[in-house]
């Protein structure tokens, strides 16, 4: 609880403030310099002067303590508090900016994987009207993007948090693995992948929806039944089965092997 200021002669209070204002400001500037906040010194000085004014109102001369001895700790503490707040705000702005940039980057990547978002619609789900299922698909997509980015950034990649996801990806049919790999690791859009494979874009979009829906359901703890691994549509499988790419080892199995998992 804040103590009520002690009533004093206003002229003596004003004199204390005027006589010690430059002294308080010098303390504030020293703190700003020590904290490397010279550009933000005005705010720290204001906090110091505010503390000085409060000390002037509370000071009791009859106690025999010199005013500066009484006020020094309070002025210095106020300066340090202001410096700490300024630094936290400045670092928070940088951190917030990096988070915002990261969020935008992920959002743009999700737009490439979920074309429905361009029309303002959530990802397709067979559970009509189930918004949670659609959101789970988006979160799963963002998780795969994050998994790829972490693997690119770190020399020694810790699989602890992603082992189940990688195992699920590695268990998919080869064509489905290559679809996820091309889209999430190599950065192709679904339509770009369809052009590379020479197939109908809608077919690729549908396969992506099936894969992501399967994976998101796989990690939904409320689903008690065993979920069957999705199969590639026969028409798409027929068109792609002759391609050399799909006769090679599965990308996620090779990925895990390279990570000694």
Q: Can you tell me the distance from the alpha carbon of 203 to that of 172, in angstroms, rounded to the nearest whole number?
A: 17
Q: Can you tell me the distance from the alpha carbon of 228 to that of 210, in angstroms, rounded to the nearest whole number?
A: 12
Walk along the chain (261 residues) and give the pLDDT tens digit of each residue. Answer: 344 444 556 778 999 999 999 999 999 998 888 888 888 888 899 999 999 999 999 998 888 788 988 898 899 989 988 888 887 666 555 445 555 566 666 776 777 777 777 676 666 655 544 676 677 777 778 778 777 766 655 544 555 567 788 888 888 999 999 999 888 888 788 888 899 899 998 899 889 988 888 888 777 655 555 778 899 999 888 888 777 777 777 888 887 777 665
Closest-CA residue to 35 (of 72, 71, 73, 89): 89
pTM: 0.53
Q: Can you tell me the distance from the alpha carbon of 108 to that of 91, in angstroms, rounded to the nearest whole number?
A: 26
Closest-CA residue to 77 (of 20, 3, 27): 27
Q: What is the largest CA-CA distance in the chain?
A: 99
Instruction: Check if the beta carbon of residue 113 is closer than 8 Å to that of residue 141.
Output: yes
Q: Can you tell me the distance from the alpha carbon of 195 to that of 191, in angstroms, rounded to the nearest whole number?
A: 6
Burial 186-223 (b: 16+ CB within 10 A, else e): eebbbebbbeebebebebbbebbbbbbbbbbbbeeeee
How high is the pLDDT of residue 163? 78
All structural domains of the chain: 10-93 (1.10.1740), 114-258 (no CATH)
């Amino acid at each position: 609880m804040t103590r009520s200021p002690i009533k004093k002669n206003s002229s003596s209070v004003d004199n204390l403030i005027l006589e010690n204002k430059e002294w308080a400001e010098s303390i504030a500037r020293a703190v700003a310099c020590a904290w490397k906040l010279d550009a933000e010194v005005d705010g720290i000085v204001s906090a110091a002067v505010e503390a000085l004014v409060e000390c002037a109102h509370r000071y009791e001369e009859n106690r025999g303590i010199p005013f500066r001895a009484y006020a020094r700790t309070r002025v210095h503490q106020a300066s340090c508090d202001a410096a700490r707040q300024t630094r936290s705000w400045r670092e928070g702005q940088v951190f917030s900016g990096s988070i915002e940039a990261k969020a935008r980057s992920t959002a743009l990547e999700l737009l490439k994987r979920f074309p429905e978002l361009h029309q303002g619609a959530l990802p397709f789900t067979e559970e009509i009207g189930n918004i949670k299922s659609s959101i789970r698909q988006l979160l799963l997509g963002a998780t795969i993007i994050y998994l790829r980015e972490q693997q690119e950034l770190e020399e020694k990649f810790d699989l602890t948090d992603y082992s189940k996801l990688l195992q699920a990806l590695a268990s998919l049919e080869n064509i489905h693995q290559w679809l996820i790999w091309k889209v999430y690791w190599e950065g192709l859009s679904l339509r770009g992948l369809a052009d590379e494979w020479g197939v109908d874009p809608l077919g690729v979009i549908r396969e992506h929806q099936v894969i992501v829906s399967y994976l998101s359901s796989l990690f939904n703890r409320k689903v008690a039944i065993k979920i069957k691994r999705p199969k590639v549509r026969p028409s798409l499988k027929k068109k792609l089965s002759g391609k050399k790419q799909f006769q090679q080892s599965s990308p996620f199995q090779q990925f895990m092997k390279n990570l000694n998992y």
